[in-house]
Chain A
Amino acid sequence: MKRVFPILAILTAVLLTYGLYGALIAAPTEKTMGDVQRIFYYHVPSAWTAFTFFFLNLVASVVYLLRRNPKADALALAAAEVGVVFCTVVLVTGPIWARPVWGIWWTWDLRLTLTLVLWLIYVSYLVLRRFSSSGQTPVLAAVLAIFGALDVPLVYFSIWFFRTQHPQPVIGGGGSIDPRMLHVLLINWAAFSCFAILVCWSRYHLEVLSREVEETQALESLLESGSPR
């Protein structure tokens, strides 16, 4: 298992470089938006990655609630942090893309708003984790993750209807995509997915180790205080 990490790291570096080259140079320039459209190659894969890792957090949280395996909890935490990082990227690149193309920084359209709500939910998840002094923080966090997941379809429908009632400019429109663009998009998606896996794995490993060290420290101090008897 330990040998996979460096191999994955090299693969990630290669994919990221190739993806960057594809995004900036190889991909054809978009007709209407021009070169700014190339933000798309970073914006969309980041969104997919963020949502994947939020989903991973949900699965890990449920597994934790059912089995109370601390490793599941560590994975939930790692996945949430990675998800928030990528979600932040989405929320930053989105407005930077929107401004030159559509003239506005923000609009309450479906995708952007859903992303913002997910970001808010998971930031509150991380804050709960950090600030909770209960011994059972993992349980509380897992419950919050489930509530967040239940919320997502409701958010989707509420924004969808809000938009049909109050039509807004569409950001990142739909329509078919040039196969060369699709190719670059997928390369970048693969690159960022591998990158995210590497980061999540590191974070998970860090968390598991931290907990072991804390337990050992607690044990040591217990033994120390117990010995002069």
Chain B
Amino acid sequence: MSFGIMRATLAKDLRLEWRSKDAINAMLFFALLVVVIFSFSFDPTAEESRRIAGGLIWVAFLFAAIVALNQTWARELRNQVLDAYRVSPAPANSLFLAKALGNFIFVTVLEALMTPLFIVFYNLRALGPAYQLFIVAALGTWALVVNGTFFAAMSLRTRSREIMLPLLLFPITIPALLAMVEATSSILTGEYSARFWMVLLVAYDVVFTMASLFLFELVLQAE
């Protein structure tokens, strides 16, 4: 696990993304689409919107995350970077962590841009402890991104790659999705404590981060 390599790869990805803004634009488009369309189809009262907003917000962020994840390895694949990486003595999980962190940053930026829109469109005001929303957002985003980056690597040499990623990702992330949505709803409605869901998200993140770091070497060699 080499942090130097991780930092270098991450910096490279961030710089490339900043220059082209490929991923961010696509993500923004999809998230916006979800917000606007749902806003038309429901015209909820403040009370109702607090109940359903949790699910809607995470659907929007999930679509955006999938867009980001699908292009994670595209650049590497085009330029035979993966082959180079395989022969180099650099540990595989540095590359993985760099990619995962890059995706995490992209999706978090998107969430930061979209959240004010959600608050405006759905007249949201958290009745529970609002600071917990940041924690849930961070934990939930990492859950999506860590498994997503891993499965994106696994789907590299499959036909219908764009379908394979969501297909693999969705069942595995069901507990995390449930936790994210329920935690957000609990905090917004203030009806329940979100503590259990946050603990579950922490457990989920720990388990799958370790599993990904441990097994990524196999996946990289398997391409």
Direct A/B contact, Cβ within 8 angstroms: yes
B171–A121 touching, CB < 8 Å: yes
Alpha-carbon distance between A173 and B163 when the two chains are bound, in angstroms: 38
- Interface pair A155/B174, CB less than 8 Å apart: yes
A interface footprint on B184-223 (CB within 8 Å = 1, 0 otherwise): 0000000010001100100110011001000100110111
Q: Which residues of B contact A148 (CB under 8 A)?
A: 171-172
Interface residues of A in 49-100 (CB under 8 A from B): 65
In the complex, A191→B26 CA distance in Å? 54
Range, interface on chain B? 35 or more
Known: A121-B171, A140-B219, A161-B200. A133 touches B208 (CB 8 A): no
A150 with B208, Cβ < 8 A, contacts A121-B171, A128-B164, A144-B168 known: yes
Interface size class of A (residues with CB under 8 A): 20 to 34
Task: Name the contact of A150 in the complex, choosing from B154, B182, B211, B219 (C-beta under 8 A).
Answer: B211
Q: Which residues of B contact A159 (CB under 8 A)?
A: 175, 178
CB atoms of A131 and B159 under 8 A apart: yes
A36 contacts partner chain B, Cβ-Cβ < 8 Å: no
Q: Given that A120-B170, A148-B172, A154-B203 are known contacts, is A162 also in contact with B182, CB under 8 Å in the complex?
A: yes
Which residues of A in the span 101-160 have a Cβ within 8 Å of any Cβ on B?
117, 120-121, 124, 127-128, 131-134, 136, 139-140, 143-144, 146-148, 150-151, 154-155, 157-159
Please tell me if A165 contacts chain B, counting CB pairs below 8 Å. yes
Complex: A218 Cα to B159 Cα, angstroms: 22
Contacting pair A140 B171 (CB below 8 A): no
Q: How far is B43's CA from A53's CA once the two chains are assembled, in angstroms?
A: 48
Closest chain B CB from A162 CB (angstroms):
6
| Cα-based distance from A147 to B219 in the complex (angstroms) | 13
In the complex, chain A residues whose CB is within 8 Å of the CB of B171: 117, 120-121, 124, 148, 151
Please indicate the chain A residues that have their CB under 8 angstroms from the CB of B174 in the complex.
Answer: 117, 120, 151, 155, 158
Q: Is B158 an interface residue (CB 8 A)?
A: yes
**Besides A124-B170, A134-B156, A158-B200, 11 other A-B contacts (C-beta < 8 A):** A117-B171, A120-B174, A121-B171, A124-B168, A127-B167, A134-B158, A139-B219, A143-B215, A147-B211, A151-B171, A161-B196
